[in-house]
Amino acid sequence: MIQRILNISKKINKGKVLMIYGPRQVGKTTLVKSFLEKTKLKYRYDTGDSFEIANNLSKCTYQSTDEHVEKYDLIVIDEAQKIENIGTALKLMVDRYPDKYYIVTGSSSFDLANKTDESLTGRKSVFSLYPISQLELNKELAKSELRSNLDKYLIYGSYPEVISRKKNSDKEFVIKMITNSYLIKDILEFNRVKNSLTIYNLLKLLAFQVGSEVSSTELATQLSVDAKTVVNYLDLLQKSFVILPLYGFSRNLRSEINKMNKYYFFDSGIRNALISNFNKLEDRDDVGQLWENFLLIERMKRNEYTSFSTNYYFWRTYEQQEIDLIEENSGKLFGYEFKWQKKGTKAPKQWTENYPNSFFQEINTENYFDFVM
């Protein structure tokens, strides 16, 4: 089993709910069950898929709470977002039994967060679990092994079950299954999704435009729906861990563009499954897009897992000068340009003139390890 970055034993605290977000199939349940196998705490494990459990907890009464909690040291609820009134139920548990531990998981930050934000203010800690990161893989594999498998990460992604399969055909089968049977299915469960074909077509449009600026109005025109629907679907896809938006950076200089966003996929395998393209890298014309998506997401995982706080942007001017990623932290700006082949790229002239104290670096296949680890 691949060692994940989240160490539950170091994250749980009495009287607080540890909330683990992340898409289906990234290993939330496996991680929790692995912890339960080793813990000395007397625990109760349930899932929101159970009608009986969901019905009982949703009552939010002292009796239903006591019956569920009183005999145990640790309460675990998997897929907790499926339980109505889960926020109020958890608040009751914590308030009545502040000397116990609580863990809940959810495959949608939107649904679970909405149901718990107000109820659990000051009573929770949150951790997001993503497909396997290079940072985690490096605990098991040498950098030479990671480099030799780079094409597989770009093509098939980094879901645990995908990585564990040896044959490319098996990897392709698994990521297609995850895309169609879990990820898309979860999204379509939301009441905000009125047309399953529209959101699927939206995902395909985004998949073809990774790394390009996207207009919600243009997307709406292509899909023959109103722009508000597209904006709602984009928000839902972000909070369901499918896509990550990147906003344009600007200090309001006349030459800078910041009205449109770029969208990246949390997993490149999902992206490739949506467009049915699992060709080898040498047979593709989108290697630059895959590389850009890979680096951005791995950097985001690395920063979040190491508790490094930063803002993310891209930068472009009307004169077509651009930088793929801008990080803003500690009062400083750090620019990164992503190149599959080493080019020796220099910072754009307008960037250095307007932001003379900023940092700039090209990230390529020769130097990417430090960037993602």
- 74 and 190 belong to one structural domain: no
Residue 317 domain flag: yes
- 187 and 67 belong to one structural domain: no
- 122 and 205 belong to one structural domain: no
Residue 42 domain flag: yes
Which of 113, 128, 143 finishes a domain? Answer: 128
Which of 85, 104, 128 finishes a domain? Answer: 128
- 78 and 159 belong to one structural domain: no
Is pLDDT above 90 for 256?
no
- 42 and 160 belong to one structural domain: no
- 93 and 154 belong to one structural domain: no
The pLDDT of residue 63 is: 94
Strand pairing report for 124-128 and 17-21: parallel
pLDDT digits (tens, 9 = 90+) for 160-210: 999 999 999 999 999 999 998 877 776 776 656 777 788 889 999 999 999
The total number of structural domains that make up the chain: 2
Q: Does pTM top 0.75 for this prediction? A: yes
Strand pairing report for 332-338 and 311-316: unpaired
- 222 and 349 belong to one structural domain: yes
CATH of the domain at 211: 1.10.10.10
pLDDT digits (tens, 9 = 90+) for 122-134: 888 989 999 999 9
CATH of the domain at 103: 3.40.50.300
- 158 and 274 belong to one structural domain: yes
Which of 76, 95, 128 finishes a domain? Answer: 128
Residue 2 domain flag: no
- 99 and 187 belong to one structural domain: no
Residue 100 domain flag: yes
Residue 3 domain flag: no
- 301 and 340 belong to one structural domain: yes
Residue 1 domain flag: no
Find the length of the chain. Answer: 373
The angle, 0 to 180 degrees and rounded to 10, between the axes of the packed helices 196-208 and 227-239 is 80
- 192 and 51 belong to one structural domain: no
Residue 277 domain flag: yes
The pLDDT of residue 108 is: 64
pLDDT digits (tens, 9 = 90+) for 284-318: 999 999 999 999 999 999 999 999 999 999 999 88
Q: Which domain holds residue 265?
A: 134-372
Burial 206-224 (b: 16+ CB within 10 A, else e): bbeebbebbebeebbeebe
CA distance 225 to 201: 12
Residue 306 domain flag: yes
> What's the mean pLDDT in 33-57?
94
> What's the mean pLDDT in 11-37?
93
Strand pairing report for 74-78 and 311-316: unpaired
Which residue stretches of 262-322 are H helix?
Answer: 268-274, 287-305
- 145 and 123 belong to one structural domain: no
The CA-atom distances, in angstroms, between 68 and each of 1, 29, 210, 238, 294 are 32, 20, 46, 33, 43
pLDDT digits (tens, 9 = 90+) for 70-99: 999 999 999 888 888 888 999 999 999 999
